[in-house]
Amino acid sequence: MTLRDTINRLLGLQRASATTARERLQLVLAHDRSDLNPELLEQMRREILEVVSRYVEIDLDEVDVSLETEDRVTALVANLPIRRAKAVAQPGVKTSLSLGVKAAGLAKAEPADRQKPEAVSGADSQSAGAQAAESQQPGPQEAQADTAGETANLEGSQSLT
């Protein structure tokens, strides 16, 4: 946000069109260069969050997945703020975690077509945490504690032509 944008906003005017142009271009080129269309991106988003949510509780409001381009090399960078570690389900065992605390804001970011887990005591049944807790798949056996505030950072680099 530039100073001019801020002033324009205060005056109730439109933002500078060059800013809009730059942002639109960056987004469309991110798609062009990575050959990822919005549909694939949505699928990738869902899958990344699903996998990571199996291990840690993510603050879905703060999730930020970006394509960073430096000198025509583009990297996928995911910043997934972790709320706290969670005890991972034993294979085949449904574990109920105390997930309700921060779950309220999470529901909206969840794709509607997800399987809904049974309501967990005190939890919003649509929260990512509850979803992962119900997971029947084998996961890591150890629970990690006290990682709240950390960020899961997935980076993959792709050389673009």
Closest residue by Cα to residue 127 from 156, 96, 152, 103: 103
Window contacting another protein (CB under 8 A); options: 58-66, 100-108, 117-125, 148-156: 58-66
Closest approach of another protein to the CB of residue 34, in Å: 9
Nearer to another protein, 15 or 102 (CB): 15
Nearer to another protein, 12 or 140 (CB): 12
Q: Which residues contact 118 (CB under 8 A, 6 or more apart)?
A: 94, 125, 134
Closest approach of another protein to the CB of residue 51, in Å: 15
Closest approach of another protein to the CB of residue 157, in Å: 14
Closest approach of another protein to the CB of residue 36, in Å: 8
Q: Is 54 helix (H, G, I), strand (E, B) or coil?
A: coil
Binding to another protein, residues 73-132 (CB under 8 A): 77
Tokens of 4: 């001019």
CA distance 26 to 32: 10
Binding to another protein, residues 11-50 (CB under 8 A): 16-19, 21-22, 24-30, 32-33, 36, 41-42, 45
Q: Which residues contact 161 (CB under 8 A, 6 or more apart)?
A: none
Binding to another protein, residues 142-161 (CB under 8 A): 160-161
Q: Which residues contact 60 (CB under 8 A, 6 or more apart)?
A: 49, 105, 106, 109, 110, 128
- Which residues are bridge partners to 30 per DSSP? none
Nearer to another protein, 30 or 143 (CB): 30
CA distance 29 to 160: 12
Closest approach of another protein to the CB of residue 150, in Å: 21
Give the interface with another protein as residue ranges (CB under 8 A).
2, 4, 16-19, 21-22, 24-30, 32-33, 36, 41-42, 45, 63-72, 77, 160-161
